[in-house]
Chains A and B, each alone.
Chain A
């Protein structure tokens, strides 16, 4: 386990550490996340597809991996970079170590890294591509990076979305009051769990399901899930959202928010280093309330292009970017952050109720 490994970044920076998890080479866009707990949720969040994640918190794996905190069926990140991985986790729910989990899923990790130095680099230079390797020299690794496709030009949604539609089996029985269609662009289980607990029966659709197909089940509302990558590449989904928007109440989360925006003609742009963590303050413009939110996005809606009945409803208090939109007349809203949290604070779980309230009104 103490095999030497290196992380090489696109700009030539080299970080030396030790391999853990699967002993393979991996490539991805390197991003940092400032959450201090919740590594299991992060690892399994499909929105991290194609990315090598660097938790800024230096000790990872302290409470092991348990059966309850998966956000999808497998690890989604393409690599994991930590200061220290915990070899002897301690928690009554723990089933295995983070090393075992990564190894089992064939995902490479590197530990012993000055993760703060990487964070500072990404903060000032912007996110960049990187490779974790035990075999290659830094020069070879750098040459390899240049040959790889750019993150922003890859459609990761196709890769993570469920290829088939399915009905969500709630873990606990709840009386079903609402029928919700969920468009899986990189869905997290927590969204389904939260809605299910609010008496929703849920049908999950593959990301490229045509709108007519979804409308066939006559859902009470549609939830557009979060997901990875560049929303500009998702015209095929946006077209469906345009149709759904005329017919059904919609709530969009993260990528779902951007899809709503795009459906109403707004543009997106790539943030320098994104928002990833559990401490982002957003302000609800309707009432000036502040919420601390969980975030995970590298792209954002351009506020100047939000129009056609759509308006900005939440802004980020750190950098002023758009954190949510709503339609002035139609029962449609989106949030750029994660009301399902997981990991992160639960300040905005009320939005799921708001979504259902909107459905009630539009009935």
Chain B
């Protein structure tokens, strides 16, 4: 073993995108903690401010900087780490490490790559090298070959045997490929594929569609000791990306021999690769024989390893980090038992179900079919003692409101014909399976069409059978218990047995049917465990006995989805810590396996449960007296401010149930969220709000819109991430949207506001009833109308006048006091200036909870806002904490938060920015100058243009005047200009040289799409006009840009900012640690 390093660089995974979510914050955070335990200084770099790992008390030295070779080289030059941990930052971190190695940086500065050697990483990542290695060790890879013409293809196919997958080389999103089950199909698919490939080449590969997809999580230390942590079985068989599959752990349908066969293969592979740390191995297993193929390895921690960690309690990333600095598995204590060592294999005595959370509820136009390209933004996990309960709880955890397994899509037209059921892979397949079972379709028929193993289908049928019993039989204690054991919620039981959910709950109480909580302990209860990590089940023994001490419950934010991301996990974690610091027992409830909040050592107690009324109330009861009447323990209060809309939505039900919440009351929350009440409230304070009203019908909507004048902004009340929010310009659009919004969520009306063109500004503030403290003001680069989550936000406000700032502070303080905010709130303002430069400031909305900018503002100001807010909720005033009403002095830095999208992964989704949020993550660019900060924000978000290049412009008529100076900026910066017909005219008239390119796709080549796809242009500026028809025109341009992964600016404000950076020609920026920026 070589000497232990002294200072280690850890590269994070950057912004949250589809395929790379909070799991890497969890991994990086564990790595930092592991380094601290080993006495090693950690230097962390990540561009994502909404992470726990970028907290200065997690890593020793924190850089929030773009993840580029140049930036990281500068960090290495400055910090001189002697080691680098490459395997904890997902694919981004791994690629970065390889790039740094390629660039000779590691060698130059004598930085040793720790753990898994870079060569092993290459072997695991490079398909050809990996295949060679498998051959050497006698492990089977799916047979495949590359061919260049149909003759060659036929010859090869004889050898490989049908069915085959045909993948054209170098096409985007695998377009032009397909499956060949017969020789007729084969010729057709191959010819299409060859034509689709720009180099006329296709890959033929044995089709394993329908085979079982099995994963193993494996670890190896430097002394060649290997263990497996967990195996997992995908319910969706081969053909669906594992990130988009419903997965269970451990495997359910494999014999011991099959498990051991794949386990042995996994160990052989990890040894051959020389991985030192964690590794994920994926297999395809024939359901009818013991034949298998190795599909893929990830020589790093991954989404699957985070899931395996949460599923077993075994902290893979933490152990992998310690292995990387030279520890052996038998030298690392098992944090769960505290007595045994990490060198064992977890045994679990429950089943874990994971279901992906897809963004299709937001992207109606998106293609809901799932396949080899992952589309989910997040996932939920549920634990129970049987499959039926685990899957039903997981579905509750998805937070789809009324979409339990009873749900059926009203759009389905189902008949006797099995083909009428949408059983192809999609986000709704599970519900389609249930619908088919409900109508008596046989499990065999469904298995044929889905590839689901009969075991799973029979279990799902058990759920259907119970549905039928609940519908037809008298509800007895026995039947109720059995249905609870199968995971039926009180709501489902109520629906089926014709009772209100609350009546079902009462019956449960009367009959003594409460859930018990069992521990996740890595060892199936063989050893006494110290981990306070629990799940509910309906059985005999309760292991989570309430402690008689001060405590509070933090409600987490559930699965990561667009509009509710990792920021809220950051907040939840900090709130749990603040409780602990204040001497309280912190209790966390969450359902998301990717996160830091569901790490068992984040809080004093973790309940891995759905965040709905039933499970939260059950937990509160358990933490109160529970079943032990003697103990007389008070029911602990809940903190709802940090778990996004998920948590806030619990305010009313908990209050109605008479359960305590701390922080702003449910009355405050309702006042802020109920449009009508809020309007009165603001009127009373004399604070202006854009004219508007609440409506419930299309007729009302039209009346209101005519009164206030178009354009108007429409949205449903109680919204999340601007769901179904739009700016509409005329009566037809309005009618359509009101109907759509009403469909989304019944019970809540629709809001219509006058759309005011102004500068959007937002603040986060903490109130305690006496003071309102504002840590900072952020102004948006994009004008109001672009969702705040999709806007770039600048701290501090640099383009506001002192009067404007004073007004904003005054409004904020008055609103905070009058609403009686206890804890956090976020206010969005619209600053509208008239021609004389006089401004009027409107309140757009008030959110009585933590917002997504909380981590950002915490990091730039250095004030842990959540900590302060939590202490306020516990009764410690702002004054006592050393804060006073008003705005905190600006730090001498500029920080810009920029959104990041995952549009290349979501086929069919339009990318233009509007009031509906579309981004999946964010980055921060921080510097001493605006230009530096913006450059870095753009770099980190992948929106930076090269210093010289070409741009394509397609500008809507009404934006043309405004666009001209922006286009001039690009011209002055030396960019070559391309423009569509109308826009060209504008540029020619202005005397700019421009190449005209047609946007008519059926009128010859090259057209706009061609010059995007062939790389002629480096970026696009495309604005949209109001109507839906013109939307379609630009749609192809925007999709082409997304697929080519080049920047496409649909807001002129963003384009202007970018053009100014380019025109300035200033690419200079600092590379400093966070305290260095703040303390300048």
- Give me the interface of A with B, judged by CB distance under 8 Å: 15, 32, 34-38, 40-41, 56-59, 62-63, 66, 68-69, 83-84, 86, 88-93, 114-117, 119-120, 123-124, 273, 277-281, 283, 288-290, 292, 317-318, 341-347
Please give 14 more A-B residue pairs, beta carbons under 8 A apart, in addition to A124-B528, A292-B345.
A34-B523, A56-B349, A58-B350, A63-B255, A68-B257, A116-B525, A117-B541, A277-B347, A289-B223, A290-B329, A292-B227, A292-B344, A345-B228, A346-B264
Q: Report the minimal beta-carbon distance from A13 to chain B, rounded to whole angstroms.
A: 10
- Give A123 to B227 CA distance when docked, in angstroms: 25
B524: A residues at CB distance < 8 A: 32, 34, 56-57, 116, 119, 277
Name the interface residues of B241-264: CB closer than 8 Å to any CB of A. Answer: 250-257, 259-260, 263-264
In the bound complex, CA of A346 to CA of B524 (Å): 21
Would A35 and B351 count as touching, CB distance under 8 A?
A: no
When chains A and B are docked, how far (Å) is the Cα of A91 from the Cα of B212?
Answer: 12
CB-defined contacts of A37 to chain B, threshold 8 Å: 250-251, 254-256, 259
Find chain B residues with CB under 8 A from A88 CB.
454-455, 458
Indicate if the CB atoms of A92 and B289 lie closer than 8 Å.
yes
Q: Does A117 lie within 8 Å of B539, measured CB to CB? A: yes
Interface residues on B, range: 35 or more
A72 to chain B, nearest CB (A): 16
Give min CB distance, B993 to chain A, whole Å.
69
Given A34-B347, A58-B351, A88-B454 in contact, is the A119-B341 Cβ separation under 8 Å?
no
Residue of B nearest to A287 (CB): B223
Interface string of B524-549 (1 = CB under 8 A from A): 11111000000000011101000000
- Main SS of the interface on chain B? loop
Whether A59 pairs with B351 at a CB distance below 8 angstroms is: yes
The answer to whether A35 touches B256 (Cβ under 8 A) is: yes
Considering the chains assembled together, what is the distance between the CA atoms of A86 and B454 in angstroms? Answer: 12
Closest to A349 in B: B264
Can you show 22 pairs from A to B with CB atoms below 8 A apart?
A: A35-B347, A37-B256, A56-B347, A56-B349, A56-B524, A57-B250, A58-B351, A62-B253, A63-B255, A88-B458, A90-B455, A91-B253, A93-B255, A114-B539, A116-B525, A119-B524, A277-B526, A279-B344, A281-B227, A288-B223, A292-B345, A317-B340
Is B329 touching A63 in the complex (CB atoms < 8 A)? no
Known contacts A15-B540, A36-B250, A119-B524; A280 and B256 CB within 8 A of each other = no
Interface presence of B225 (CB below 8 A): yes
| 1/0 contact string of B904-943 vs chain A (CB within 8 Å) | 0000000000000000000000000000000000000000
A36-B347 in contact (CB<8A) = yes
- Chain B residues numbered 335-362 whose CB sits less than 8 Å from any CB in chain A: 339-341, 343-351
Give A189 to B458 CA distance when docked, in angstroms.
Answer: 33
Identify the B interface with A (CB < 8 A).
223-225, 227-228, 250-257, 259-260, 263-264, 267, 287-289, 329-330, 339-341, 343-351, 385-387, 453-455, 458, 518, 523-528, 539-541, 543
The 8 Å CB contact of B254, one of A58, A63, A342, is: A63
Residues in B neighbouring A123, C-beta threshold 8 A: 525-528
Which A-B residue pairs are the 7 nearest by beta carbons?
A: A38-B256, A117-B541, A114-B540, A90-B455, A56-B524, A343-B256, A279-B345
- Distance in angstroms from B1040 CB to nearest chain A CB is 46
Bound-state Cα–Cα, A228 to B894, Å: 74
Report A7 CB to chain B, min CB distance, Å.
Answer: 12
Main secondary structure of the interface of A (DSSP, over half): loop
> Contacts of A92 on B, CB cut-off 8 Å?
287-289
- Nearest to A83 among chain B residues (CB) is B385
The CA of A59 and the CA of B251, in the complex, are separated in Å by: 11
Query: Which residues of A lie under 8 Å from residue B259 when comparing CB positions?
Result: 36-37
Q: Which residues of A contact B260 (CB under 8 A)?
A: 341, 343-346
Number of residue pairs spanning A and B whose beta carbons lie under 8 angstroms apart = 160
Min CB gap A8→B, angstroms = 14
If A290-B329, A292-B227 touch, whether A345 touches B289 (CB-CB below 8 Å) is: no
Chain A hits for B267, CB < 8 A: 347
**How far does the alpha carbon of A36 sit from the alpha carbon of B256 in the complex, in Å?**
8
Residues of chain A within 8 A of B345, CB atoms compared: 278-279, 281, 292, 345
The smallest beta-carbon distance between A294 and chain B, in angstroms, is: 9
Instruction: Give the shortest distance, in Å, between A92 (CB) and chain B (any CB).
Output: 5
Q: How far is the CA of A40 from the CA of B526 in the complex (A)?
A: 21
Cβ-defined contact, B386 with A66, below 8 A:
no
Are B453's CB and A119's CB within 8 A?
A: no
**Which residues of A are found within 8 Å of B264, using beta-carbon distances?**
345-346
| Nearest A residue (CB) for B255 | A63
Residue of B nearest to A15 (CB): B540
Contact A281–B343 (Cβ < 8 Å): yes
Contact (Cβ within 8 A) A41 B455: no
B458 touches A318 (CB 8 A): no
Contact of B256 among A86, A124, A292, A342 (CB under 8 A): A342
Closest approach, in angstroms, between the C-beta of A70 and any C-beta of chain B?
12
Does A36 lie within 8 Å of B253, measured CB to CB?
A: no
Minimum Cβ distance to chain B for residue A270 (Å)? 17
Chain A residues whose C-beta falls within 8 Å of the C-beta of B523 in the assembled complex: 34, 279
Assembly CA distance A120 to B259 (angstroms): 27
Q: Residues of B contacting A344 with CB < 8 Å? A: 256, 260
The docked-state distance in angstroms from the alpha carbon of A187 to that of B573 is 54
* Most A Cβ at <10 Å: residue of B260, B526, B543: B526
Min CB distance A17 to B, Å, is 10
Chain B residues with Cβ below 8 Å from A40 are: 255-256
Nearest chain A residue, comparing its CB with the CB of B252: A62
Chain A residue nearest in CB terms to B388:
A84
Measured in the bound complex, the distance between the Cα atoms of B704 and A106 in whole Å is: 78
Q: Contact partner of B255 among A91, A273, A292, A341, CB < 8 A? A: A91
B455 touches A317 (CB 8 A): no
Query: Are B330 and A57 in touch, CB under 8 angstroms?
Result: no
- On chain B, the residues within 8 Å of A117 by CB distance are 539-541
Minimum C-beta distance from A43 to chain B (A) = 12
Which residue from chain A places its CB closest to the CB of B225 in the assembled complex? A290
Q: In the complex, A15→B539 CA distance in Å?
A: 11
**Bound: A177/B698 CA distance, A:** 89
Chain B residues lying within 8 Å of A93, measured Cβ to Cβ, are 255
Q: Which residues of B contact A277 (CB under 8 A)?
A: 347, 524, 526
A56 and B385 alpha carbons, distance in the complex (Å): 11
Complex CA gap A359/B295 in Å reads 41
Please state if B255 and A84 are interface contacts (CB–CB under 8 Å).
no
A290–B330 Cα distance when bound, in Å, is: 8
A56-B349, A88-B454, A318-B527 given as contacts; is B255 within 8 A of A283 (CB)? no
Judge whether B330 and A116 touch: CB under 8 Å: no
CA of A92 to CA of B348 in the docked complex: distance in angstroms? 25
Q: Are A84's CB and B454's CB within 8 A?
A: no
Least CB distance, A131 to chain B, in whole angstroms: 18
* A277-B527 Cα distance, complex, nearest whole Å: 13
A257 to chain B, nearest CB (A): 21
Residues of B within 8 A of A115 (CB): 349
Q: Are B454 and A90 in contact (CB under 8 A)?
A: yes
Q: Is the CB of A66 within 8 A of B255?
A: yes
Across-interface contacts of A89 in B (CB, < 8 A): 455
C-alpha gap A114/B528 in the complex (Å): 17
A342 to B329 CA separation, bound complex (whole angstroms): 25
How far in angstroms is the closest Cβ of chain B from A97? Answer: 12
Alpha-carbon distance between A56 and B287 when the two chains are bound, in angstroms:
26
For A56, the closest partner residue in chain B by CB is B524
Q: Contacts of B518 on A, CB cut-off 8 Å?
A: 116
- B257–A317 CB distance below 8 A: no
> Would A63 and B253 count as touching, CB distance under 8 A?
yes
Interfacial chain A residues near B350, Cβ < 8 Å: 58
Contact A58 B455 (CB under 8 A): no
**Closest partner residue, chain A, to B334 (CB atom):** A318
Given the complex, which residues of A lie within 8 Å of B386, measured CB to CB?
58-59, 83-84
Complex Cα spacing A57 to B386, Å: 10
The answer to whether A317 and B346 touch across the interface, beta carbons within 8 angstroms, is no
Are B525 and A120 within 8 A (Cβ)? yes
The listed residue (A66, A119, A343) touching B349 by CB distance below 8 A is A119
Contact A281 B341, beta carbon cutoff 8 Å: yes
Interchain nearest-CB distance for B936 vs A (Å): 46
Contact of A283 among B330, B527, B540 (CB under 8 A): B330
